């Protein structure tokens, strides 16, 4: 059985958690393939809002198996807090939540290194979530990391101490003021590790291979967004993993020819958290309105998101890099009430008009070229059928489809799982 893939096409925060939760009923296995607790996947149903950081977004469905893949980095303390927060929902974690032995572990000193590195950059800081993600991936590629499978070894604490000592020396090298009590952090860490060791560890690539042989349906869940990819994002203002479709292969051990549908998720407008270029960013009342109506605050950090018009150049780029087969547009309801909407359809770059994403998209290098659309005033949050959508919204959707040459299958009209319209049924 082929594997379907779901990922974000912007700078993260597109609404992946809601759609994974919505689609889980059609899948046997939900497998997270990269990132760590810097992700914040928000799900809302039955009047309750849930935010997941590491656990896959299919966890609330009793029939689905949830796999944390080898490409993910895990902070045991945050992971334990997630488990504790879900305890009241009577979830069988032992059988429904499986962790790859090859997933790397975030140590307390990884977080301290993250803070020291970011502080040392001064005004040039990249806007890290300070979760230790970058230093953990650096240890992974430097072949120094500690993996989940190491927790099953008798000498894993010796490996921990050796690596933690190395980290402390590096923190001193940065020569910045980072206050911490490592003994207290380690106390929490070791307690959380013991809690995680009660879960089931698996050789995930073999597990997923056997699942395919048994014709089980698998949905690979990505974190962050394509424009934050370490190779294809707006470097250096990116995350430390491959957030694009290729990351699903390396993050789960799935062969490229086993991927069938690639679901790309984007907002009807654009947002970004932290530093980095953002060509269509708004600094006026329109941007402030998007932020207020869309509740644009990071699910992980709480930081306000920068808001702007939809950047079609960047969206087409993400669609091409990922080989997207179906699009899903989120937060269409947030744009209700705007008299006029704009879409960035090209850039003016070095005196020329271009329609591709160049090497450097800093504001001083380019300016967006916009196409205007009439907005819609209707409240669309209670609509259930695409035929009931305002005509101007239909035209907005049709224009996007024509430009990127991929159909929009889902239109989200609210945060709840029920506020979802399936097109072309």
Task: Record the tokens describing residue 330, joined without a space.
Answer: 């989120």
Nearest to 23 by CA among 360, 336, 422: 422
CB-CB contact of 420 with 412 (8 Å): yes
pLDDT of residue 406: 97
Task: Record the tokens describing residue 348, joined without a space.
Answer: 């003016």
Rounded percentage of the chain residues whose pLDDT exceeds 90: 75
Interior angle at CA 132, CA 128 and CA 137, nearest 5: 100
- Interval 121-126 mean pLDDT: 72
Whether the pLDDT of residue 130 is over 70: the answer is yes
CB-CB contact of 132 with 113 (8 Å): yes
Does the active-site annotation cover 333?
no
Whether the pLDDT of residue 425 is over 60: the answer is no
Does the active-site annotation cover 50?
no
> β-strand 310-311 against 200-202: which pairing, if any?
unpaired
Rounded percentage of the chain residues whose pLDDT exceeds 70: 96
Higher per-residue confidence, 113 vs 126: 113
Cα–Cα dist 42/51, whole Å: 4
Burial grade of 98 (CB within 10 A; 0-12, 13-18, 19 or more): buried
Question: In this predicted model, what pLDDT tens digit does every residue of 352-371 receive, in sequence order?
Answer: 999 999 998 887 789 999 99
Cα–Cα dist 176/123, whole Å: 14
Q: Please, which pLDDT band fits residue 38 given cuts at 50, 70 and 90?
A: confident
**Collapsed DSSP state (helix, strand, coil) of residue 420:** strand
Q: Residue 357: left if φ>0, alpha if ψ -120 to 50, beta else—which one?
A: beta
Burial grade of 374 (CB within 10 A; 0-12, 13-18, 19 or more): middle
Cα–Cα dist 63/28, whole Å: 7
pLDDT-wise least confident of 52-66, 133-147, 241-255? 52-66
Whether the pLDDT of residue 252 is over 60: the answer is yes
Phi, psi (deg, nearest 5) at residue 70: -65, -20
Active-site residue identified among 13, 114, 139, 416? 13
Average pLDDT in the chain: 92
pLDDT-wise least confident of 121-130, 167-176, 270-279, 358-367? 121-130
Question: In this predicted model, what pLDDT tens digit does every residue of 60-119 receive, in sequence order?
Answer: 888 999 999 999 999 999 999 999 888 888 888 889 999 999 999 999 999 999 888 888
Whether the pLDDT of residue 261 is over 70: the answer is yes
Higher per-residue confidence, 178 vs 337: 337
CB-CB contact of 336 with 378 (8 Å): yes
Question: In this predicted model, what pLDDT tens digit does every residue of 202-226 receive, in sequence order?
Answer: 999 999 999 999 999 999 999 999 9
pLDDT of residue 299: 62
CB-CB contact of 28 with 4 (8 Å): no
Active-site residue identified among 41, 53, 110, 167? 41
Task: Record the tokens describing residue 226, joined without a space.
Answer: 């394509």
Whether the pLDDT of residue 287 is over 90: the answer is yes
Interior angle at CA 93, CA 90 and CA 97, nearest 5: 135
CB-CB contact of 59 with 221 (8 Å): no
Nearest to 258 by CA among 199, 321, 210: 210
Cα–Cα dist 27/58, whole Å: 9
* β-bridge partners, 423: none
Helix axes 391-404, 312-322, angle to 10 degrees: 50
CB-CB contact of 68 with 56 (8 Å): yes
Helix axes 133-141, 108-120, angle to 10 degrees: 110
Higher per-residue confidence, 287 vs 297: 287
Task: Record the tokens describing residue 175, joined without a space.
Answer: 């020569």
């Amino acid at each position: 059985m082929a594997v379907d893939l779901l990922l974000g096409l912007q700078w993260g925060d597109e609404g992946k958690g809601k759609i994974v939760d919505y689609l889980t009923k059609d899948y046997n296995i939900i497998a997270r393939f990269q990132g760590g607790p810097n992700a914040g996947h928000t799900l809302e149903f039955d009047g309750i809002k849930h935010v997941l950081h590491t656990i896959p977004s299919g966890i609330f469905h009793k029939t689905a198996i949830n796999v944390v893949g080898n490409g993910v980095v895990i902070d045991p303390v945050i992971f334990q807090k997630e488990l504790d927060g879900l305890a009241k929902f009577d979830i069988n974690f032992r059988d429904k939540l499986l962790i790859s032995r090859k997933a790397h572990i975030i140590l307390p000193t990884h977080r301290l290194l993250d803070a020291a590195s970011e502080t040392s950059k001064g005004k040039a800081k990249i806007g890290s979530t300070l979760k230790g993600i970058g230093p953990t991936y650096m240890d992974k590629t430097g072949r120094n990391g500690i993996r989940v499978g190491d927790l099953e070894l008798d000498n894993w604490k010796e490996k921990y101490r050796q690596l933690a000592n190395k980290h402390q020396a590096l923190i001193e090298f940065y020569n910045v003021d980072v206050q911490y009590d490592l003994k207290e952090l380690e106390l929490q860490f070791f307690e959380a590790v013991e809690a995680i060791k009660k879960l089931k560890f698996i050789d995930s690539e073999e597990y997923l291979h056997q699942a395919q042989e048994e014709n089980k349906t698998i949905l690979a869940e990505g974190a962050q967004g394509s424009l934050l990819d370490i190779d294809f994002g707006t470097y250096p203002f990116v995350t430390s993993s491959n957030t694009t479709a290729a990351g699903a292969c390396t993050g789960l051990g799935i062969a490229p020819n086993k991927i069938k549908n690639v679901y790309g998720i984007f907002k009807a407008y654009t947002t970004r958290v932290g530093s980095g270029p953002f060509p269509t960013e708004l600094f006026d009342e329109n941007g402030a309105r998007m932020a207020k109506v869309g509740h644009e605050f990071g699910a992980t950090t709480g930081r306000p998101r920068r808001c702007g018009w939809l950047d079609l150049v960047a969206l087409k780029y993400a669609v091409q890099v990922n080989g997207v087969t179906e699009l899903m547009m989120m937060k269409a309801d947030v744009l209700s009430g705007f008299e006029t909407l704009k879409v960035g359809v090209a850039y003016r770059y070095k005196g020329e008009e271009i329609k591709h994403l160049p090497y450097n998209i800093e504001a001083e290098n380019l300016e967006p070229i916009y196409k205007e659309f009439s907005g819609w005033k209707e409240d669309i949050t209670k609509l259930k059928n695409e035929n009931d959508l305002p005509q101007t919204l239909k035209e907005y959707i049709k224009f996007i489809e024509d430009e990127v040459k991929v159909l929009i299958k889902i239109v989200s009209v609210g945060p709840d799982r029920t506020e979802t319209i399936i097109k072309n049924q």
